[in-house]
């Protein structure tokens, strides 16, 4: 099993959309995939047309003596694709775990026995102990960033957090790359952001996801891009992301 965190300290960068479509894309490649939603907004379930639940909270808080990871998993109604959904109570779990002084390896221990090829973690758009635990649990991480200057700052903050984990825990997950999102080929800003990212992350900037109305429509219908419009440019771009992830991890 490989664990991948999708992270950025800035919200509104397409993080949850990426986590959902990457997860479903992997499942469509015959990879058994579990999506763990550690973002208190709980949007992953909503994006899949499901109800938010406090499963992620329970996974972190329940008594380890009776704990079984599969009891928190819910079917998405899609083959080989399950979800451990979250809701606003996920934020409470961070407070509890911090108060209990749980080690940063805590989430890794909780999910290490999940029977899957991949676990994708959608992290909170903030820097905190829950993010550190998610990163410490991960074998790899992926950073989506919208193509604007404020969003791109979140990339560097996340990289600083990864360095902190490396320094304090002697643990360094593999870096899949930076994923530019909301790319607009008409504006100079998008091109400038990607150029700047390529200077700082040579060879680690992935093919961009263009701004697309169809991705907003997916959310409204509770479908992934592969269900809603599999022939769209957005579907091709997310398929390319799946291929790039598999190339890095293979």
3-state secondary structure 92-106: HHHHHHHHCCCCCCH
| CA–CA gap between residue 21 and residue 223 (Å, rounded) | 9
Q: How many domains in the chain?
A: 1
- pLDDT tens across 8-31, in order? 988 889 999 999 999 999 999 999
Extract the runs of DSSP E, i.e. beta strands, from the chain.
2-6, 33-37, 74-78, 81-84, 118-122, 140-146, 174-181
Determine the 3-state secondary structure of 43 from DSSP: helix
Quote the tokens at residue 124.
Answer: 């909170």
Residue 112 has a pLDDT of: 92
Per-residue pLDDT band for 46 (boundaries 50, 70, 90) equals: very high
pLDDT of residue 246 exceeding 90, the answer is: yes
Q: Crossing angle, helix 149-169 and helix 129-137, to 10 degrees? A: 70
Tell me, yes or no, if the pTM score tops 0.85: yes
pLDDT of residue 127 exceeding 80, the answer is: no
Q: CA angle, corner 115, sides to 79 and 158, nearest 5?
A: 90
- pLDDT tens across 53-75, in order? 999 999 999 987 788 888 999 99
For 12-26, give the DSSP string: SSSHHHHHHHHHHHH
Per-residue pLDDT band for 143 (boundaries 50, 70, 90) equals: very high
Determine the 3-state secondary structure of 188 from DSSP: helix
Mean of pLDDT values over 138-146: 96
pLDDT of residue 145 exceeding 90, the answer is: yes
Per-residue pLDDT band for 50 (boundaries 50, 70, 90) equals: very high
64 or 233: which leads in pLDDT = 233
Query: What is the domain range of residue 15?
Result: 2-249
| CA–CA gap between residue 53 and residue 74 (Å, rounded) | 10
Which residues does 5 contact at the CB level (< 8 Å), separation at least 6?
A: 121, 123, 134, 135, 137, 138, 140, 141, 142, 173
CATH of the domain at 20: 3.40.50.300
Per-residue pLDDT band for 149 (boundaries 50, 70, 90) equals: confident
- pLDDT tens across 155-209, in order? 888 888 888 888 888 888 999 999 999 999 888 999 999 999 999 999 999 999 9
pLDDT of residue 250 exceeding 80, the answer is: no
Per-residue pLDDT band for 84 (boundaries 50, 70, 90) equals: very high
Residue 153 has a pLDDT of: 80
Average pLDDT, the chain: 93
193 CB neighbour count, 10 Å cutoff: 23
Which residues does 19 contact at the CB level (< 8 Å), separation at least 6?
A: 6, 35, 37, 44, 120, 121, 122
């Amino acid at each position: 099993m490989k664990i991948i965190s999708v992270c950025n300290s800035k919200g509104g960068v397409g993080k949850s959309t990426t986590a959902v479509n990457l997860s479903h894309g992997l499942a469509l490649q015959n990879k058994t995939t579990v999506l763990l939603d550690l973002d208190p907004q709980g949007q992953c379930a909503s994006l899949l047309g499901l109800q938010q639940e406090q499963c992620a909270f329970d996974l972190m808080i329940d008594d380890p003596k009776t704990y079984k990871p599969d009891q928190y998993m819910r079917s998405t109604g899609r083959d080989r694709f399950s979800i451990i959904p979250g809701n606003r109570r996920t934020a409470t779990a961070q407070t509890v775990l911090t108060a209990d002084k749980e080690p940063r390896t805590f989430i890794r221990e909780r999910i290490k026995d999940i029977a899957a090829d991949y676990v994708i973690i959608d992290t909170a758009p903030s820097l905190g102990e829950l993010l550190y635990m998610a990163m410490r649990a991960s074998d790899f991480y992926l950073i989506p960033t919208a193509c604007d200057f404020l969003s791109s700052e979140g990339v560097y903050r996340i990289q600083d957090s990864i360095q902190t984990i490396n320094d304090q825990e002697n643990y360094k997950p593999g870096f899949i790359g930076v994923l530019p999102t909301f790319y607009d080929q008409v504006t100079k800003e998008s091109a400038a952001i990607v150029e700047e990212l390529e200077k700082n992350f040579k060879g680690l900037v992935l093919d961009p996801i263009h701004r697309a109305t169809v991705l907003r429509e997916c959310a409204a219908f509770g479908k992934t891009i592969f269900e809603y419009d599999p022939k769209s440019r957005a579907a091709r771009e997310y398929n390319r992301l799946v291929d790039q992830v598999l190339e890095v991890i293979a």
